[in-house]
Chain A
Amino acid sequence: MMGTTATEAAGRTTIMDAARDQAGRYSGQSITRVEDARLIRGQGQYVDDMTISNIAYAQIVRSPVPHAMIRSIDTSAARALPGVLGVYTGHDVVLELHALLPVIEAGVPNRRQTPPQYPIAIDEAVYEGEPLAIVVAETRYLAADAAELVIVDYEALPAVSDLDAAIAEGSPPTHHDAPDNIGWDISFPATGDIDAAFAGAAAVIKQRIVQQRVCAASIEGRVVLADYRDRLTVWLSSQMPHFNRMYVAEALGLPESKVRFISPDVGGAFGSKMGPYPEDYLIPIASKLVARPVKWTETRSENLASTSHGRGQVFDVEAAAAADGKLLAMRVHQLVDIGAYFGRTGANPVVSVHLSGGCYEWPMIEARSVGVLTNKMWTGPYRGAGRPEATHLVERVMDMLAAELGMDAAEIRRRNFVREFPHLNNFGFTYDSGDYDVTLDKALEVVDYATLRRDQEASRAAGHYMGIGIGCYVEISGFGPSKMTAANDGEIGLTESAVVRVHPSGAATVFAGTHSHGQGHATSFAQIAADALGIAIEDVDVVEGDTTNTPFGHGTYGSRSIPVGGMAVYMACQKVMDKARAIAANLLRVSAGDIVFRNGSFTAELAGASKSMREVALAAYNRNLPEGMEQGLEATAFFDPPNFTWPFGAHVCVVDIDPGTGVTTIKRYVAVDDCGTVINPLLVQGQVHGGVLQGVAQALLEEVQYDAETGQRTGSTFLDYLVPTINEMVPTEVYHTVTPTPTNALSVKGVGEAGTVPSSVAVINAICDALAPLGIRHIEMPASPQRVWDLIRHATAAMVD
């Protein structure tokens, strides 16, 4: 453990002035980003910025209701509008389709049904927003006009919305010909006598915890530009172009080699641009049918309705502890709101059960996960993708048990932390390394916990409501080892790849299979490569996102880019260096073993001579090479990590609640995170800032809402879906500790989602702590002013009674 750092205080270098530090490294320095140069000038290339000669524009006609049989779709008026090139319905599209949207069956444990998903409704619409027809026209404006002229004759069917009702006997089905709404039902039995554990407990708590649906709401929505010619080229705002290429090629009956996917600059994603989505199939088909390039740009309303939602789970949890605070047992029952279709990632939310034990030693956990089909847009990964849900669950449990026992919230955690690593958790996952004490200690030190608790007592005496909330977490990142992920991803393990090519002048290009959508790979990967190759960082260029020149990659999500992608870059650099060393040795007429690489030079110490990378690179393309060695200086590497990586941390949130209005104000927020070795502290800090605010926003502001009667979505615009503005900013103080990991040679863990993992629960724990004197034990998210006010009012009335 190498000590703690307040990232705030770390020195910073701009990319223009970047130089190696005293240890001769770029990695570890806060270097500003090389990609900013185009972005601050408005020279980014996002998909909607792109145009091709003869381009046409598409608009999707979507189901206005959550569930209906489609009797007919009349496209005649739309087709007659001048400037309309074509209007296609499901009957047209199926003629072009060789495969449906993928559902990884193996990734759906104990599956009961996985409804087949066409990219467009054929005779039944099962979610509001499901594509019904696609209009292609000369301009965006005409496409919008024509879309209004498409007439859909449908017969509304009952909409399945509430999860408890959906699994109850006699519920209408989400798909009209399905037997029920159960997608999967998997049980994890306890490893001991759990009834006895509960019976013998000093404290037992029972609680329902709801994870409301939220939207990723990246500021750029989804965009697809398809150009179907002898080859199919698709520009897509996506986190994972290679996978999407693979699926779309198959669906269109094209060889993968004749399909090119390019994700250029992507304006945020947070898990919502993994897909594949129906439009990823529809737009290439439209291009084929009209024989012109076609572009479709999602509106915000479409994005909030028809791009995957996050979270969407309900937990019923019971937990038991002994009088000294030691955890005895937990029962977790999880309902997952799948939506009408699984989406590719299938039953990923079961990971919330896998990690429901959090940072703690649990003698036994019994669990059951039920996936429920509903007439809604499907849920998919959203920053944290199951780990915020798990953390929220277990951290609420810890606070509730502490309250039952009259024990301090920090103390009960300390009494149960896992302290030996590697640690095999209750569900077969091995945490690689960790030190949960050091992050909690640091967080409590920064907030001066003892003084805060005294302040709280004084505040309570004065009739105020001040709360302190702790969120400790361990989370899974660095997806993932092929042996554990391949089955869930269509037999393609989540390894990562890189090609490193050194050019004759000694500059290098890194081609990576990841895809940055704000994470700064062009800078962080350049730091890694520049260190490994001993060249200046400004001589390294990082290329991502084009399937033509990058090796098969798995994209960016699951906090995987540095621990898996960065490692692939590092490994490719090692292979390059092996060859470079041999070339240098040959030039210096020594053996490779006599070469020492230091300060960017290959040195033959005994001979007192050296060669720079530049000289070696030029030689690599020349004729003075060792016997039998081919020209060139490049290498490809695929990294298959032996394990996921397990970042961890502790966040502390301090709130004030105004009982008159129910408004919660965050007075202080401290984040201490440990992601192992940090390549660029500045970038990590930015990820934590952004991640924390998204978690806080789920706790206080955001929710996807449906009308209780009709199941229709309400509030599908930024007027009603409340993403935070600068006024709702959280004053996040960011610290990190460094606990190495044996999982990879760089000793790095992912951190992109870490900020979001504990932040919702840190806020909710703080609110419950503030309201504890009123007997309030729990509050659902979002803890809107109305919700808080209602709870206080009922509690106060109850006290009076």
Chain B
Amino acid sequence: MIPPPFAYHLATSVEDATQALGSGGEDAKYLAGGMSLIPVLKMRLSAPPLLVDIGALRDLSYVRVDGDVVRVGALTRHSDIMANPTLREYLPLLSDVAYEVGDAQVRARGTLGGVLAHADSAGDYCTVALMLDAQIVTSSRTIAAADFFQGFMTTALAPDELITEVRFPVMTEGHEYVKFRRRRSDWAIIGVGVQRDRDRYRIGLTNAGAVVSRGLAGEEVLAAGGSAREAARAVADAATPLADLPAEVEYKKSLIETLTSQALAKVGA
């Protein structure tokens, strides 16, 4: 319940943030919405000596469309992503996903960048970023989503590297995100995202393994003219969900198949 002590710096710019973090030692961390980090600190699972608060960098909160790219500032909150009219028009899948994240109070604070940096495979935005081949723009470079998520809650980010923007392709066609959980405000047990992209379908999986994953096997089946049912089966067969018991793994794979089927049906695959 009580976090361990830390030093605190309120960043005034991206440069100021990276510099402060760089001088804060190995375990220093950025603080954005705090919806992932603060619970971790309260449980004393982590004890960073310094927190660099980037919450005041409000000019990192935006939604813009540049041609066929949707650019979302890393500090855009879930509640804003949910309600943003530009996103509703150019990338409605992301808005739909934001609607399903956490609860109202969490949505008022949590950020896109925060979820991606945390890289929990149950983080719904991670799925969207991966399946849409998003580009993650940081304080020093741009990283393709496929290269960004590297392992269990591990990203390609250097310790002081700060996500500033996420670039998604404009996707206005049929889309569906099915999030299966026990209670509606819980993390996904399994989530499946489907986005029609011209002549193909993109499929993403939430919490289907240690790292966020994509249903490439299913995408290939559909691209080759296979049925939605076969695609769903392929996605489930290829998935490696984590569980304590074998029965749980079977159930999760079954869920993956059922939910992928459901999502594909919704987008008319």
Contact = CB atoms under 8 A, between A and B. Distances in A.
Q: Does a CB–CB distance below 8 Å link A and B in the complex?
A: yes
Interface of A: 140-141, 144-145, 148, 299-301, 660-662, 701, 719, 722, 724-725, 727-728, 784-786, 789-790
Contacts of A725: 183-185
Contact of B182 (A140, A660, A722): A722
A789 B251 contact: yes
A789 B254 contact: yes
Given A724-B183, A728-B183, A790-B247, A144 B255 contact: no
Contacts, number: 42
A interface secondary structure, majority: helix
B251 A144 contact: no
Nearest to B44: A148
B157 to A, nearest CB: 25
Nearest to A663: B180
29 contacts: A140-B2, A141-B2, A144-B2, A145-B2, A145-B4, A145-B5, A148-B44, A299-B1, A661-B180, A661-B255, A661-B258, A701-B182, A701-B183, A719-B186, A722-B182, A722-B186, A724-B183, A725-B184, A725-B185, A727-B184, A727-B185, A728-B183, A728-B184, A784-B182, A785-B182, A786-B248, A786-B251, A789-B251, A789-B254
B183 A727 contact: yes
Contacts of A661: 180, 255, 258
Interface string B244-269: 00011001001100100000000000
A661 B261 CA distance: 12
Interface string B37-81: 000000010000000000000000000000000000000000000
Interface residues of B, number: 18
A527 B184 CA distance: 41
Nearest to B39: A719
Interface of B: 1-2, 4-5, 44, 180, 182-187, 247-248, 251, 254-255, 258
A82 to B, nearest CB: 13
Contacts of B182: 701, 722, 784-785
8 A-B pairs with least C-beta separation: A144-B2, A727-B184, A299-B1, A660-B258, A786-B251, A141-B2, A725-B183, A722-B182
A144 B247 contact: no
A790 B254 CA distance: 11
Given A660-B258, A786-B251, A789-B251, A722 B183 contact: yes
A786 B251 CA distance: 7
A678 to B, nearest CB: 33
A152 B187 CA distance: 35
Contacts of B187: 719
A306 B22 CA distance: 42
Contacts of B185: 725, 727
Contacts of A662: 251
A785 B182 CA distance: 8
Contacts of B4: 145
Nearest to A300: B1
B258 A786 contact: no
A701 B185 CA distance: 14
A701 B182 CA distance: 8
Contacts of A724: 183
Contacts of B5: 145
A661 B179 CA distance: 12
A299 B4 CA distance: 16
A144 B43 CA distance: 11
A127 B176 CA distance: 47
Nearest to A298: B1
Nearest to B190: A661
A514 B202 CA distance: 62
Contacts of A144: 1-2
Contacts of B2: 140-141, 144-145
Counting chain B CB atoms within 10 Å of each CB, the highest count among A144, A148, A661 belongs to A661
A390 B183 CA distance: 28
Contacts of A728: 183-184
A140 B3 CA distance: 11
Nearest to B259: A661
A3 B255 CA distance: 49
Contacts of A140: 2
